Every structure is written in C-alpha cells, then in structure tokens.
Structure 1
Amino acid sequence: MEKETANILDGAHELFLKRGFKSVTMDDIASHLKVSKKTIYKWFSDKETLITKVVQRHLEQVQSMVCEICSDQKNAVAEMLSIGTCISKTKQSVSQNIFYELEKYYPDAFKLIEDHREHFVKKLIVKNLNRGMEEGIYRDDLDADLIASLYIASTNHLLEHGLLLGSLTDNPLKQLFNYHLRGCCTQKGIEILKQNKPKPQL
C-alpha cells in the first residue's frame, strides 16, 4: 500500500472513530491530515469509498491480531478470554452511533462487518469450541455451529441496541461473555476460567 494512501486511511480512521462517519467531511479529513482534498480524491473517488476502505482495513487488522493471539494460547478458555480482551479494547474508543450510521448510510461498509461476523467470527468460535471439547474443558455435547450462531446473534442484538461497546469488565458484554463460557465449560474448564479472570481495562 502506498504510504500516502495509508496515511489518509489512518487519519480518516481516527476521525471516524471519534466523531462517527456521518459528521466527518472530506474537508475535515484534509484539514486533519494537512493535505488538500485533491490529494485524498487522487486515491479515493468519494467519501463512501474511503469509508469502505477504512472499515475493510480495520477488519483485516483485527483479524490479523486475533489470529496471532490464537496461535499463542495454552487452552481454549485462555484463547477465548484473550480474544475477548483484544476485541473489547478495539471498541472502547468507538463512537456509540457508529454502527447505526454504517448500516443506515454506508451499506457497502456495513456489509463488510456483517460478513466478518458471519464468516471470520463464527469460524473462530466454532474452532475454539472444538478445541475446548478436545481438551476436555468444554462439554462434549455441544453443537459448535449452533452455539457459535447463537453467540453471534446475541452480540448482534447488543450491537443493535447500542450495548456492545465497552470492556470485559462492563455489563452487558461481560454478562454475555461469561454466560457463553460458563455454559460451555466443564468443571475443569470453570476452574481454568476462575484462574484467568479478565482484568479491568484502563
């Protein structure tokens, strides 16, 4: 990726997270980056294209982060807790109405998020559930595909009602996360969960 393009995406991303997508103009982004609008339009034909690229890049970065975390965890519970902490950190600086704005005004970008949930996140949870069952720390009677679908549906519900943002020390995200893990864990898994309680995010 061209350095100039990356700088534009970084600057736009920063403004969008702070103020939301709808209120930020191309003039705001140009002023923030101390460049001309012509420079931005050299790489992005319009604001919607820029937003779609920002969302796409953000999701790719999140996926890369999560995959790195998954490769370095000693068991399924530790893996899920680490993933949850990572994801919660990415949400703490997000404007409350950002998902609503994407869904209402920028459907192409919102579709990327839906695809991310339905494919990457679901696959991740299914893999984690199967790992936990093999390790004997999740119940062996779980339908991994169904449980993953239920978890995603629950997070979507929280998202639609503006309740998903925050850390693992907040409700209701904490409640959903604990409900999922405790419902899946065997006694051995619950003992591991107690030893690996997520710490408050600063």
Structure 2
Amino acid sequence: MKNKLQDIINTASLLFAGKGIKKTSVDLICHNCGISKKTFYQYFPDKETIVNEIVKKALVNTEKHIDKLRKIMADAPTELSTFFMYMQCNLSVFTPVFMSDLMKFYPKVYDLMLESKKSKFLPFFTENVKRGISEGYYRKSLDASITAALYFKQLDYALEDEIMLSEKFKFLSYINSFFLHGIVNRTGAEVLVSSFDEDNSGL
C-alpha cells in the first residue's frame, strides 16, 4: 500500500513539473502509474489533495533538513552550501509551470509555501548570514535580512523563468554559487574550497 501511494505521488510530481498541474489529469496520472481511477481515488479524493500532499511533503522535508543543518554544520558557509545543494536536488517539482498553476488554481496550497518561506526559510537564511559574519567568513557590510530577502527574490524569479524546465539544475546551481561566493570574504572562500575538496576526496 505504501509503495503504491509513493508511486502515485512520484508519478504525479514528474507530470506536474513537466506539464503543469492543469494539463495533468487524473487519467494521465493513472495511465502513467498503470492503475485504475478507482485505485487512485482510494488514496486521493481529488487532484487538489495530491497537489497539497506533494507541496506539504516537500516543505516538511526541507524544514527537517534545515533543523538538521543547524545542529551538525561546523560553519556558516558549509551550512549554506549544503542547503543550496539540497534545494537543487530535492525540489525538482517546483518548475515555472507548476508554480504558475499553483498560484492560479490552488491559492491555499500556494499560501502554504509563502508561510513556510516566511516562518522557516527566511529566518534560517538570515541566521546563517549573521552566523557567517560573527564567524568571520562573510563580509561585515552585509545586512542579514536584506541579503536573505534578495536571495529568495532571485529564487522566485528563477522559478518563473521557462529556462528552468530544460536546465533546472544548472540554473539553480549557478544562482546559488554566484550568491554564496558573493557574500563570503577571503577566509570564507577558503572554507568553501576546503569543503569542496573534502566532498570530492573519495572520487
């Protein structure tokens, strides 16, 4: 039962990311899962419920990852670069077409994202910038709140751009690298290089 549920969620996520929510029918999800509509409705009463489940799961997992980073990361640059990598690898459903449909047709679910950004993601980023400044790894002139807000404004813009459909990982990777290297000082840059070398030492 659990495997079937996860298969439906994974399939719907891929379809939503590529075609958008509106153009992805329950019939299409069922066809790609190899199940009947009756089986689908045993798990989800309607399409909005599965959209809500996908978004909530992504947000909860991201929040758990943030909480874990706060406990185990030795320094701010490594913490932020690890967070960026997580976003690149695990939030693939949030493409421009998905975000557009979410905002237009599922405003309550979209509001969940806005609330998580406000209550979890922005505070995490703001705290990270303050931490990086106090550790001597980030530029002293940074305003933590403005820096955090600016990053998420860039991210919002990226999620609205159609290039994300074909070069999602590359585009996000560039934004994250550009931003991170823009806020570190020379000492922080050395930490990033050291962290990268450690991550690739086993290759």
State TM-score, norm by structure 1.
0.78
Identity level (%)? 25
Is this contact kept in 2: 1:15–1:24, CA < 8 A?
yes
Question: Which of 122-131 and 49-58 deviates more?
Answer: 49-58
1:147-186, Cα deviation, whole Å (9 max, x unpaired): 111211122122223355623xx34x44532443233222
> Take 2:67 and 2:80, find their aligned partners in 1: how far apart are those partners?
12
Matches within 5 A, 1:1-202: 3=2, 6=6, 8-91=8-91, 96-163=96-163, 166-167=168-169, 170-171=170-171, 173-197=172-196
How many residues in Structure 1 have an aligned counterpart in Structure 2?
A: 196
Is this contact kept in 2: 1:15–1:29, CA < 8 A?
yes
> Take 1:74 and 1:44, find their aligned partners in 2: how far apart are those partners?
42
Q: Which amino acid aligns with 1:62?
A: T
Residue 108 of structure 1 deviates from its aligned partner by 2.2
Is this contact kept in 1: 2:17–2:97, CA < 8 A?
no
Is this contact kept in 1: 2:27–2:37, CA < 8 A?
yes
Q: Which amino acid aligns with 2:111?
A: K
> Take 1:46 and 1:7, find their aligned partners in 2: how far apart are those partners?
16
> Take 1:190 and 1:10, find their aligned partners in 2: how far apart are those partners?
37
1:88-142, Cα deviation, whole Å (9 max, x unpaired): 1125576552222222222222222222323321011012112212211123343
> Take 2:94 and 2:150, find their aligned partners in 1: how far apart are those partners?
24
> Take 1:110 and 1:70, find their aligned partners in 2: how far apart are those partners?
26
Q: Which amino acid aligns with 2:15?
A: L
Q: Which runs of 5+ in 2 are unaligned?
A: none
Q: Which amino acid aligns with 1:140?
A: K
Aligned-CA RMSD value: 3.0
Is this contact kept in 1: 2:16–2:93, CA < 8 A?
no
> Take 2:94 and 2:158, find their aligned partners in 1: how far apart are those partners?
15
Q: Which runs of 5+ in 1 are unaligned?
A: none
Question: Which of 9-18 and 121-130 deviates more?
Answer: 9-18
Residue 78 of structure 1 deviates from its aligned partner by 0.9
State TM-score, norm by structure 2.
0.77
